């Protein structure tokens, strides 16, 4: 009985290796095409006169307790705090007159588009719309952050336009980087206090890195309020 000859099969290794090389090259080309361009760095003019730290106040400026936040608009944790906890803090604590809330700029070097966002909010503040812009910037963080675009101004200007701002004035403020000195002053004030991450909250004289929930802030404010209350007169 004759045996059928078995035709030797050629190795697939060279072909598979070629496919792998093509895939790597194709992926690299695709990455070069689709990755966001590196944004232009925004730097403070070293010859500009120094500015004082000036936070953005929400609530009664004369409230007995201050809740200060040092935040980076491009920081995901700051965005989570702004969306999930800050509205409840404002409603239950600030609107009730127990404390005021103050936002301080603290853009981090690791977030290339952060300074543009802080500048956009400062320019909106010129027209009395800081907090509205603040909320929109955080809600739209995935659209303008450095992972999404190398041109954050395009998205930020659309947010400003949505607030019916005078865009000629807003663009002039943004393009001339009018409030960079104050932004840097706010960040430097945080550094002097020991802030090294965002978000960092200061409630009264207590500092908390990483943010707090609304319930935690309310508990701290209540304890500070109780501690400052005058002692009840002794009964005879």
Q: What structural domains and CATH numbers belong to the chain?
A: 56-226 (3.40.30.10)
Measured on CA atoms in the order 66, 216, 117, 95, is the torsion positive or negative?
A: negative
Residue 46: pLDDT over 70:
no
Mean pLDDT of 13-33: 38
Distance between CA atoms of 72 and 199, rounded to whole angstroms? 7
Give residue 234's pLDDT: 59
| Residue 39 pLDDT > 90 | no
pLDDT higher than 60, residue 7: no
* pTM of structure: 0.78
pLDDT reading at 30 higher than 90: no
Residues in the chain, total: 236
2 vs 220: which has the higher pLDDT: 220
Rounded Cα distance between 57 and 61, Å, is: 7
Q: Which pLDDT band, with edges at 50, 70 and 90, does 51 fall under? A: low
The dihedral built from the CA positions of residue 184, 86, 73 and 195, taken in this order, carries a sign that is positive
């Amino acid at each position: 009985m004759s045996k059928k000859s078995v035709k030797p099969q050629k190795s697939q290794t060279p072909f598979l290796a070629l496919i792998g090389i093509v895939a790597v090259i194709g992926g690299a080309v695709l990455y070069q095409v689709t990755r966001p361009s590196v944004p232009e760095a925004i730097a403070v003019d070293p010859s500009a006169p120094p500015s004082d730290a000036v936070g953005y106040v929400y609530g009664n400026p004369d409230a007995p307790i201050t809740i200060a936040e040092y935040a980076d608009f491009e920081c995901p944790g700051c965005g989570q705090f702004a969306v999930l906890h800050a509205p409840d803090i404002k409603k239950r604590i600030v609107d009730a007159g127990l404390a005021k809330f103050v936002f301080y700029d603290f853009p981090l070097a690791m977030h290339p588009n952060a300074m543009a966002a802080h500048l956009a909010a400062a320019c909106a503040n010129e027209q009395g719309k800081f907090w509205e812009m603040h909320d929109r910037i955080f809600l739209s963080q995935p659209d303008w952050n450095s992972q999404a675009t190398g041109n954050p101004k395009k998205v930020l200007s659309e947010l400003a336009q949505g607030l019916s701002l005078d865009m000629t004035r807003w663009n002039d403020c943004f393009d001339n980087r009018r409030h960079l000195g104050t932004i840097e002053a706010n960040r430097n004030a945080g550094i002097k206090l020991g802030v090294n991450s965002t978000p960092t909250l200061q409630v009264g004289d207590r500092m908390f890195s990483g943010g707090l929930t609304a319930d935690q802030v309310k508990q701290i404010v209540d304890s500070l309020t109780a501690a400052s209350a005058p002692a009840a007169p002794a009964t005879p």
